[in-house]
Amino acid sequence: QGAFKRISTMWSSFRREPVGPTAADSTSKQQRYASGQYFFEYLVVVSLKKTKDSNSYEPQITYQFPKRDGMVRKQKEEEEKTLKAITLFCFPEGISWAPLTEYHSFSHITFSFVLTEIDGSRRNGYCRRLLPGGKGARAPEAYCIISTLACFGLFSKIFDEVEKRRQISMAMIYPFMQKLREASFPAPGHTVEIKSFIPESGTEIIRLTRPLDSWLEHVDFATLFNCLTDEEVLLVFAAAVLERRIVFIANELSILSQVIHAVAALLYPFTWQHTFISIVPEILIDVVMAPTPYLLGVQKHLLDLVTDQSDKSVQTLVSILQIGDEASILPPKLKAELLEVLSGRQKASGKCLNRVVSDTFLHFFVRTVGHYASFIKYSATGELGVFDRRAFCKAIDSKTTRHFVKKFTQTQMFDLFIQEAEQQQPGPRQGIFHHKIREFQDKKKKEKTKKH
């Protein structure tokens, strides 16, 4: 039970305030690298081993780098619990496996999960499944990198390099991962170069670039919009904003992890504060019975377990615990504007699509709650600020927007956002959200001046 308690509450895995664009312009080493951060904590290989008394399989760690020596007993016990949890998330399907003759290594078998420690700190697991060497039918094994850093695209590229070396020899993985572990993690917008020797190819220089938008570096909105219509995305967004219970259902692990992280990213600059499990292991499926808010990813073969244990109406990909007001949560005018902007996203792709989608939903929050800082009052004695919630809501002209904001201010994500804002000193605030607020306010002032 100890291992399960550690993983029962999962959180979204991106930073609240991204580093501003000016960070990319600096060439100083201090700003080019994220200080004191390793690329990863360790790499493990999880293999499926047949149990002695049956035809079922049990996931076991068969390789770990680096090995942790010299730990005291309590540290060792904690690590054993974490490693046990990792095996569950690498093979969440359970113990029933049919040996496979081929297993292609593309994005559909690269996925991620998030582990939240008791103290609230977060670690990301990045997995890629491959077939072990040999001939004939055999079960896959999972290569898993554990890191405090959230950047799916970058770690996917690292897996490409790991796989390339694995095809030569397992021994080739060690020197590459050692070089990677010694390298400094780049700041947003910067690149780090890793030198690595491969027989017959010689020394290669591997360039790993971190995206400039740090809160989007774990996100691919394309998968979300390929799976859901714009209207369905807004339905999910509305339910998530008011912290409802949402289950995502798909066959492929990669789709589950990408969709659920994308939905969490739509909430920026706010952070999902409740249970967040991108891929629910079969052994933890009872979590769908929880009465508290959650974002869960469940594989389709577990659908019967989900529907047996809840009264949700399951759709193709997403299931929301229906309260009846889902279609009317968002203010009608702003909802129509969201749909109009999203309808033009087909022209964008890749990083441009991420920017179009993120800007669209960021602008929604700018329009609805961007005036919050004006309602944090500071005393002359230098004490912490106090947010005037009533005056903040009253300042909204639109009745439908005011109705939405009143509900939104009752959520934990808004409450935590305001608590952090109250602890900051008065004055201009940093980050892309506040930059967008200033842009919007300046635009409104210019429009007002023109009218007069």
CA distance 124 to 261: 12
Going along the chain from its start, the domains and CATH numbers come out as: 2-216 (3.30.450.200), 221-332 (3.40.50.11500), 351-451 (no CATH)
Question: Do residues 271 and 416 make contact, with C-beta atoms less than 8 angstroms apart?
Answer: yes
Q: Strand pairing of 294-299 and 275-277?
A: parallel
CA distance 323 to 325: 6
Question: Do residues 126 and 156 make contact, with C-beta atoms less than 8 angstroms apart?
Answer: yes
164 pLDDT tier (thresholds 50, 70, 90)? confident
Instruction: State residue 3's pLDDT score.
Output: 36
- 200: nearest Cα among 171, 168, 228: 168
- Residue 136 burial by Cβ neighbours in a 10 Å radius (0-12, 13-18, 19+): exposed
At CA 440, angle to CA 386 and CA 23, rounded to 5? Answer: 85
230-241 helix and 253-266 helix, angle to the nearest 10 degrees: 60
- Residue 26 — left, alpha, or beta (φ > 0 → left; ψ -120 to 50 → alpha)? beta
Top-confidence residue, 308 or 141: 141
CA distance 172 to 162: 8
Q: CA torsion, points 277, 282, 288, 290, in degrees to nearest 10?
A: -80
pLDDT at 170 > cutoff 70: yes
pLDDT at 15 > cutoff 60: no
CA distance 58 to 442: 60
State what percent of residues in the chain have pLDDT above 90: 25
Segment 64-74 shows an average pLDDT of 77
Spatial CB neighbours of 284, under 8 Å, sequence gap ≥ 6: 4, 7, 8, 88, 277
Instruction: State residue 104's pLDDT score.
Output: 53
Spatial CB neighbours of 191, under 8 Å, sequence gap ≥ 6: 207, 208, 209, 210
Highest mean pLDDT of the ranges 3-7, 69-73, 258-262, 427-431: 258-262
pLDDT at 17 > cutoff 60: no
Dump pLDDT digits (tens) for 285-314: 888 888 888 999 988 888 777 764 444 443
CA distance 79 to 252: 29
Top-confidence residue, 363 or 320: 363
pTM (global) more than 0.85: no
Dump pLDDT digits (tens) for 238-254: 999 999 999 998 888 88
27 pLDDT tier (thresholds 50, 70, 90)? very low
319 pLDDT tier (thresholds 50, 70, 90)? low
